[in-house]
């Protein structure tokens, strides 16, 4: 309903209102989780005033990336607003606690934890906590608990692990989805842009070839690099002091089509690696990609047969 336009959510207002009104009493003793899988990602242009948070400096700039296949797309699409860019990897998670637990110590702890980075692993641990552990203490146990079945997650109803700063370094959050706003610089060197662009396309081709579907796709070649940025990471960072991390947006030439974003790591020897091993397609030509029935390859191939 809201994948391409979050304004469409309001079409469900009446249905949602009637559902909660009808079940008001039944839900008084329930935990309610309202969540999304990701924020707005599709738009014609993405405009960013970028800078740094999470302990890093702030450098203001303006960035414009032309993303859409159809220039008639709505220029007010929130995917390319400053807010939309911040929210792409920061989906909604709204938790309602049972009525008798509101204003309790557990509720206060949940509110405190809402100011920290949260992962799906934490949500999984929270659900297990609700089902198997908190009922024993009538939801009063706030001590940190390590869940053996999922050591990566922490219950949102308890204190987080003491002495561990929750960041993309300490949590299982790939850099591609990290919402910490590191300072970046735009790469303008044409040789570097060519290296990053050609590497990106070569890896796109090898990804399809490794799954033996390349013959079903239109020939893939680089059209242009729309944007390449280098993250200005702290001197002591979790990638190593001599590691460089790049964000690259590139287009594929006709007869194939597509606009993609990818993260590339360069090691101390100058060797390049995808980090992580994924491409994200950021245009809307999905109707030409249906010949590949493999989830991880969704959107990567422009089919020879429509």
pTM assigned to the model: 0.71
Q: What is the pLDDT of residue 52?
A: 45
Q: What is the mean pLDDT of the chain?
A: 83
In this prediction, residue 21 carries a pLDDT of 96
Same domain, 172 and 248: no
* Structural domain contains residue 2: no
pLDDT for res 120: 94
| CA–CA distance, 259 with 48 (Å, rounded to integer) | 18
* Cis peptide preceding 39, ω within 30 of 0: no
Could you report the per-residue pLDDT of 55-107, keeping only the tens digit for each? 332 222 233 333 333 434 444 456 667 677 678 888 889 999 999 999 999 99
pLDDT reported for residue 89: 84
| Tokens coding 63 | 């960035």
Token readout for 221 is 């070649």
13 pLDDT above the threshold of 70: yes
Last residue of a domain, one of 135, 152, 177: 177
Last residue of a domain, one of 158, 177, 196: 177
Torsion-angle region of residue 281: left (phi > 0), alpha (psi -120 to 50) or beta? beta
DSSP string, 139-184: S---S----TT-TT---TTSPPPTT---STTTTT--GGG--S---E
Given a contact cutoff of 8 angstroms between Cβ atoms, the answer to whether 300 and 208 are in contact is yes
My answer on whether 128 and 271 are in the same domain is no
191 and 288 part of one domain: yes
Q: Which residues of 23-47 are buried (b: 16+ CB within 10 A; e: fewer)?
A: eeeeeeeebeeeeeeebbbbbbbbe
Confidence of residue 14 (pLDDT cuts 50, 70, 90): very high
Instruction: Name the residue among 129, 258, 287, 264 with its Cα closest to residue 200.
Output: 264
Six token digits for residue 80:
């390319």
Asked if residue 169 and residue 33 are part of one domain, the reply reads yes
Please report, to the nearest 10 degrees, the dihedral formed by the alpha carbons of residues 88, 72, 222, 193 taken in order: -60
pLDDT of residue 38: 83
Percent of the chain with pLDDT over 90: 54
Domains: count for the chain = 2
Q: What is the model's pLDDT at position 265? A: 92
Q: Which CATH number do you get for residue 231? A: 3.10.450
Helix (H, G, I), strand (E, B) or coil at 109: helix
Of 155, 177, 199, the domain-final residue: 177
Residues 104 and 229 in one domain: no
Rounded CA separation 54/181 (Å): 7
DSSP H or E segment with residue 185: strand 184-186
Range of the domain at 220: 184-297
Residues 169, 234 share a domain: no
What is the 8-class DSSP label of residue 77?
Answer: -
Q: List the structure tokens of 90.
A: 């920061």
Over residues 155-188, the pLDDT tens digits come to 999 999 999 999 888 898 887 788 887 889 999 9
Whether 172 and 197 map to the same domain: the answer is: no
pLDDT surpassing 70 at residue 263: yes
């Amino acid at each position: 309903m809201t994948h391409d336009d979050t304004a469409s959510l309001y079409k469900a207002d009446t249905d949602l209102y009637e559902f909660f009104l009808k079940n008001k009493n039944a839900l008084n003793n329930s935990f309610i989780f309202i969540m999304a899988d990701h924020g707005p990602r599709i738009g014609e242009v993405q405009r960013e005033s970028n800078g740094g948070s999470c302990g890093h400096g702030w450098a203001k700039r303006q960035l414009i990336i032309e993303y859409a296949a159809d220039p008639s797309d709505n220029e007010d699409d929130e995917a390319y607003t400053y807010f939309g860019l911040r929210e792409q990897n920061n989906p909604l998670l709204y938790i309602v606690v049972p009525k008798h637990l509101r204003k309790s110590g557990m509720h206060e702890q949940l509110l405190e934890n809402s100011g920290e980075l949260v992962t799906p692993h934490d949500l999984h641990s929270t659900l297990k906590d609700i089902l198997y552990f908190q009922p024993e203490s009538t939801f009063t146990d706030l001590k940190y608990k390590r869940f053996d079945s999922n050591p990566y997650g922490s219950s949102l109803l308890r204190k987080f692990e003491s002495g561990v700063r929750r960041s993309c370094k300490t949590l299982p959050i790939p850099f591609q989805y990290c919402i910490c706003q590191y300072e970046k610089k735009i790469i303008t060197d044409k040789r570097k842009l060519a290296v990053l662009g050609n590497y990106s396309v070569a890896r796109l081709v090898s990804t399809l070839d490794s799954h033996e579907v390349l013959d079903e796709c239109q020939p893939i070649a680089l059209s242009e690099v729309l944007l390449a940025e280098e993250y200005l990471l702290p001197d002591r960072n979790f990638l190593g002091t001599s590691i460089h991390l790049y964000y690259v947006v590139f287009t594929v030439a006709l007869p194939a089509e597509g606009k993609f974003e990818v993260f590339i790591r360069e090691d101390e020897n100058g060797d390049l690696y995808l980090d992580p091993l994924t491409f994200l397609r950021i245009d809307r030509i999905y109707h030409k990609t249906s010949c590949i029935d493999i989830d991880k390859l969704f959107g990567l191939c422009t089919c020879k047969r429509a």
